[in-house]
Amino acid sequence: MRRIKLYLDNAATTKVSKEVVKEMEKYFTEEYGNPSSLHELGENANKVLNKAREVIAKEIGAKAWEIIFTSGGTESDNLAIQGLARAYLKKKKIVVSSIEHSAVLETCEFLKTSGYEIIKIPVDCGGCVKIDVLHDVLNKHAKDVLVVSIIHVNNIIGTIQNIEEIGKICRKKEVLFHTDAVQSFGKLNIDVGKMNIDLLSASGHKIGGPKGVGCLYVREGVKISPVIFGGGQERGIRNGTENVPAIIGFAKALSLSKKINKENIRKLRDKLIANLEKIGGKINGSKKNRIYNNVHVSFSGIESDSLVVFLSQRGIYVSAGSACDSKKEKEDHVLRAIGVKDKDVLGSIRITLNENLSERDIEFVIKEIKRFPKPSLSHSKLMGYSARFQDGNL
């Protein structure tokens, strides 16, 4: 069996390049000071920390001190929503889209136990938030709304929301606006000023940086309470020793991401979509408002876990649902929200490309998917592929 490795799960996590590792190395073994230390090694750590903060801030048109480093996107989402809830005690309604990441949705579920009402804005069949409904909701509830939290690019189907329009509406209604930009940061242009974004979550490991680092942009003047208390780091908003090497790696990965030929990735993605459709695949989500590296496709009647394992055995790594939860039914809310039917939900996979792919790779993926046993095969035969990583030919 040909064992090339095609990593097509870049929405789950990404490879850290040798350049990024090299950049971090010094901060593990030489400049390893604690930024809170008064001595030279601490001072140096503090300096590079703030230099990285400037790099991250610049990407979204923010000021350096508006960036709070966290342990990742999930923590950033939690800090945004829980942190606001603790700072604005009287506002007890939270507005989200029906296709938020579980970091936002589960935080909201938790807040429901403290009397919060969660208002979910539906999306159209492409996955775009229904702006008219958002309008109506804010017309009615604005004064009680803690925050509107809308994911910039959906992690499953890659839909890009019209963040600028949503930001404008929120600003007009004087409601705070948070966006989970974990899948868009470093990939799409973001300007927190122009887009009226008050809070924004980003993550390192989705753009070639290390796991374990992310940030929350908090607009100057927005009150926020910590979720993690302690020694006063990150202006007291996120306590705990700053993860200097990872923050350096995050900034370096962002810089490198600027060199990626996104149009090339888009072209390959479009070729992949065209070929998937040729073999009976149905594309889920908007084709127009979609991040350039995402494909989400259903093959009616198949079981996606089996296809994922089948492809993995051939060195092709794709995702069944969101990788943030192997119990993928948890993420099915996105597909159901855009009206995908049950059998198509079960038979869907996500393919997220990176810059290291060629036309030949795309052809190989199509060829291997075609080799997957047809749905006409008995159900029990198909189920056999669910056993993880059996040896031998199937």
Interacting residues with a second copy between 6 and 65 (CB under 8 A): 7, 9, 12-18, 20-21, 25, 28-29, 32-34, 36-43
- Choose, by CB under 8 A, the member of 87, 168, 191, 240 that binds a second copy: 240
Strands of the chain, DSSP E: 6-7, 67-70, 93-97, 117-121, 145-149, 177-180, 199-203, 214-218, 282-283, 294-298, 316-317, 348-352
Q: Can you give the C-alpha Rg of the chain in angstroms?
A: 22
User: 88 vs 110, which CB is nearer to a second copy?
Assistant: 110
Among positions 313-332, residues that touch a second copy (CB under 8 A) are 313, 317-320, 322-327, 330
- Choose, by CB under 8 A, the member of 23, 59, 66, 77 that binds a second copy: 77
Helix ranges, 232-358 (H)? 244-257, 262-278, 304-313, 332-337, 342-346
User: At its nearest, how many Å lie between a second copy and the CB of residue 202?
Assistant: 13
Report the C-alpha gap between 37 and 177 in whole angstroms.
Answer: 36
Among positions 142-201, residues that touch a second copy (CB under 8 A) are none
For a second copy, what does the binding mask look like between residues 110 and 149, x meaning CB under 8 A? Answer: x---------------------------------------
Q: Is 108 a catalytic residue?
A: no
How many C-alpha atoms does 193 have within 13 Å on its Cβ side? 6
Report the C-alpha gap between 254 and 200 in whole angstroms.
Answer: 16
393 contributes a contact to a second copy by CB under 8 A: no
User: 287 vs 327, which CB is nearer to a second copy?
Assistant: 327
4 contributes a contact to a second copy by CB under 8 A: no
Q: Which residues of 273-310 are buried (b: 16+ CB within 10 A; e: fewer)?
A: bebbeeebbbbbbbeebbbbbbbbbbbebbbbbbbbbb
Strand partners for 317: 7
228 contributes a contact to a second copy by CB under 8 A: yes
> 73-87 and 102-112 are packed helices; what angle lies between their axes, rounded to 10 degrees?
30
Report the C-alpha gap between 324 and 326 in whole angstroms.
Answer: 7
Catalytic residue among 108, 128, 215, 324: 324
- Choose, by CB under 8 A, the member of 67, 123, 169, 244 that binds a second copy: 244
- Choose, by CB under 8 A, the member of 194, 230, 356, 363 that binds a second copy: 230
User: At its nearest, how many Å lie between a second copy and the CB of residue 360?
Assistant: 21
Count of residues near a second copy by CB under 8 A: 79
Among positions 329-388, residues that touch a second copy (CB under 8 A) are 330, 388
How many C-alpha atoms does 97 have within 13 Å on its Cβ side? 30
User: At its nearest, how many Å lie between a second copy and the CB of residue 326?
Assistant: 5
Q: Catalytic amino acids?
A: 324
